[in-house]
Amino acid sequence: MMYLVAGNRAMAGTITYNDEIFHSGSGIGNVATILVLQNTPSEAGSVTWNGSADVVVPDAKSQSRTWSVTDLATSSKLDSPITAADDQFGVVFNIDDTNNNTDVYLNSLTISFLKPDGTALFSSITYTGSPNAFDEDSQGTGSSGFLFRVTLTPGEITAFFGNPGNRLGASASVNLTDNGQDTFYLVDLSGNPPIGPPIPEPSTLILCGIGLAALGIWRRNKRQ
């Protein structure tokens, strides 16, 4: 859905999560990583731009980086470019916590839009549905993850993509983390990427199997 030029928060861009999984990540070195966090039992950090270099604090790792408009249009780490033709792009939340805590809580996720000198181009866009519990299902660093859709207004599209030096930054906060790195990476959504619903946990699959078996027995008895 497209909105008019953003002048207040009700008419600004949005970040939404619709229970979608993005399946095509192939490792942290092969995806368009924007933010990597690591700490236990919680982590919070950001990556911004100071006009000449990326700035990462405090739990953000060195793999974190901002992305310029030129980067988004030319990087080989994106299956297809993110350009002014897109009113929406994706941020994938990839969890790699491998100890006892299989669920983590995403407290916040914010995408910032920066001028070439590092100052804000327009208001950051924050996911407002958190905190959400997300299950870590052996995703592996930079692999599959939970898809967040970032939708921009026409005014935001014009403002951001109008200067090749403008940049994307990000910040996030996560609770109940273990020892692994949690990664946020960018994806283009203009084509037909492999997006699907969350993969059921084993216990859910077992319950479904029992239900289907019981339904089969009931139908057989009914026919007899």
Q: In this predicted structure, what is the pLDDT of residue 211?
A: 53
What pLDDT band is residue 96 in, cutting at 50, 70 and 90?
A: confident
* Sequence letter at residue 111: I
* The token pair that represents 189 in the structure block: 């959504």
Q: What pLDDT does residue 218 have?
A: 47
Q: What is the DSSP letter of 199?
A: P
Q: What is the pLDDT of residues 191-215, one digit of tens each?
A: 655 576 654 544 444 445 555 555 5
Confidence of residue 5 (pLDDT cuts 50, 70, 90): very low
- Contact 101/176 with Cβ under 8 angstroms? yes
203, containing H or E segment = helix 202-223
Could you tell me the pLDDT band of residue 26, with boundaries at 50, 70 and 90? low
Cα separation, 8 vs 170, in Å, equals: 21
For residue range 128-183, list pLDDT tens digits in order: 887 888 887 656 665 688 999 999 999 999 999 999 999 999 999 999 888 788 99
Residue 117: CB atoms within 10 A of its CB come to 10
Residue 69 has pLDDT above 70, yes or no: yes
Neighbours of 206 (CB within 10 A): 11
120, 171 contact by CB (below 8 A): no
What mean pLDDT is predicted for residues 182-188?
93
- Tell me how many degrees the CA angle 11-15-17 measures, rounded to the nearest 5: 135
Domain boundaries, the chain: 9-198
